[in-house]
Amino acid sequence: MAVMADGNVPENLSERLYDLAGKIRGYDELADYIKIGSEALFLMPATIQVKSREVFELKFLMSTLSFPLFYIGLVFLCVSFTVLSVQQLSDCNKYRFRYQILNKLGMGKRRIKRTVAKQLFFYYLCPVLLSTVISAAVILYVGEQFVSYTGIHTEGILYFCISLTGFLGIYICYFGLTYLQFMKSVG
């Protein structure tokens, strides 16, 4: 039997239906969970399913999986940008001499600042392009698989755009701080 309700259903509807049927959610059907499924697809042959409850549990599962992965990605991102910033700032003495020569040859401070910004931009551009391409491929593939296995339709591109926005925010902070320190050192 399938029922479509107008509006929201009570949060405990699933438990109440199991109580009416004289079953305990999950425990009576544990043998079915173990026997049916494969590495690629897990079939849940529950006799009572409430969509709002199942969606809530899937969202909880996705958040428990995505938070540690997001944290690990953030740590790798900060480490890589820190290494890149330290490498650029450690070469400041070499660049200071070169920019002083360019200044003596008649290149103005404004043009030197633009040249430094371009130089740092190209150093920072390679990791951004590479990580964006790899992330787009992985997120879109995993999102497509999630939709096909769960039946819950979500926009994978939305999650990619949210992730990319956070990534670019961190990128801009590191780039700006490196640029300011670089200009102070070259100064």
Residues with Cβ within 8 Å of residue 127, at least 6 apart in sequence: 80, 81, 84
Query: Residue 46: which of 60, 35, 32, 59 has the closest Cα?
Result: 32
pTM summary value: 0.57
Q: Do residues 179 and 120 make contact, with C-beta atoms less than 8 angstroms apart?
A: yes
SS (H, E, C) 62-112: HHHHHHHHHHHHHHHHHHHHHHHHHHHHHCHHHHHHHHHHHHHCCCCHHHH
Kindly report the backbone phi and psi dihedral angles of residue 10, in degrees, each rounded to the nearest multiple of 5, phi listed first: -60, 150
Using one digit for the tens of pLDDT, what is the confidence trace for 92-122?
878 888 888 888 888 888 898 888 888 888 8
Using one digit for the tens of pLDDT, what is the confidence trace for 41-93?
555 556 666 666 666 766 777 777 777 877 887 888 888 888 888 888 888 87
Q: Quick one: pLDDT at residue 93? A: 78
